[in-house]
Structure 1
């Protein structure tokens, strides 16, 4: 008879799945995509081959499932950055600096590394596309919350999309050029560029 304190089969399955995901995420961050094999994830999670295949039938399914957890960690990095940047009075500069801090975190870089690895792996690319579609709503919610002060600008959508592209580019460049002064200069230049965009005439497709 099932006792009140013993875990049920569904809860054990969920716990195993989470353990596998945590193992995959930690491996991605510490070792990178190439070394995040199913065997490495099994070893870290202390799980059997059967358990891994039950939850993640393919390597691509396992890696794409980490996107949700990586996005959650990126959101947590945003919340932590918000706590340390209250002294920046300009809301636009504060938003860009918070997002810039998030983009240099290991979880953000691991997500971008997954994108890069999918370039030559069609199965992984298809799996990641699906996972990213699901994560996009949460990611845009965070960005829009930070940029709320400029949402009434006619060029808001331009600023939002270009800011996201800028952050991804800066994150990738940080892998080879980890120079704090250089990053500070880039951030200051982007804050200036965004202010120019917000004051510019509305963007049109035929510009």
Structure 2
């Protein structure tokens, strides 16, 4: 029994090495080139060790979502600190999320979604992983919008803000227009303020 804890700790460390390698590959190379062989190469580990922790390619990729969410959470905290000078809480929240949504970890997560469209196994795995990550993501967003969570239109503001920024992130992959994006973000902040002052729809 004395060897059980070290073996468990070693196994956890090995699993984390695979995850770190997979996340790094996703960010640097994209989904198509993040193969099990590439992750194995980056870790310098055996094929058997990789398959022990992640029996399939889909299982490996879906497992990276929790790590990507963790990194995105860290990006939110850094952005929140950088935006602390903005007095308007709605503007501060939107701009914080906008800053996070162009980070490599967030774009890698969206790329996984796109790849899952035509891969049933990956789609099932990603859906499951995203369900598990949703609670943490909701907590982070609610914390950013804490000043307006009691507004009757808050649920709409939250959902639409996430959808807007997700779309902005995807468009930035092909076309980079920072000034145009900043204008759109400013217009979205205006729209949110207007929505918050509108009677809630029944």
Range of TM-score over shorter length? over 0.9
Q: 1:109 aligns with which of 91, 107, 110?
A: 107
Deviations 1:76-109 (A, max 9, x none): 0011111111110000000000000000000000
3-state DSSP class of the match of 2:176? coil
Q: How many angstroms apart in 1 are the aligned matches of 2:65 and 2:195?
A: 32
3-state DSSP class of the match of 1:47? coil
Q: What does residue 86 of structure 1 align with?
A: 84
For structure 1, list consecutive stretches of 5 or more residues without a partner in the other structure. none
3-state DSSP class of the match of 1:112? helix
Structure 2 matches for 1:10-21, cutoff 5 A?
10-21=8-19
Q: How many residues are treated as equivalent by the alignment?
A: 201
Q: What does residue 186 of structure 1 align with?
A: 184
Q: What does residue 50 of structure 2 align with?
A: 52
Give the C-alpha shift of residue 200 in structure 1: 1.0
Give the C-alpha shift of residue 203 in structure 1: 2.1
Q: 1:24 aligns with which of 14, 22, 43?
A: 22
Give the C-alpha shift of residue 65 in structure 1: 0.1
Structure 2 matches for 1:27-176, cutoff 5 A?
27-176=25-174
Give the C-alpha shift of residue 182 in structure 1: 1.1
Q: How many angstroms apart in 1 are the aligned matches of 2:8 and 2:66?
A: 21
3-state DSSP class of the match of 1:134? helix
* Runs of 4 or more consecutive aligned structure 1 residues displaced over 3 Å after TM superposition: none
For structure 2, list consecutive stretches of 5 or more residues without a partner in the other structure. none
3-state DSSP class of the match of 2:117? helix
TM-score, normalized by length of structure 1?
0.94
TM-score, normalized by length of structure 2?
0.97
Q: How many angstroms apart in 2 are the aligned matches of 1:184 and 1:152?
A: 28
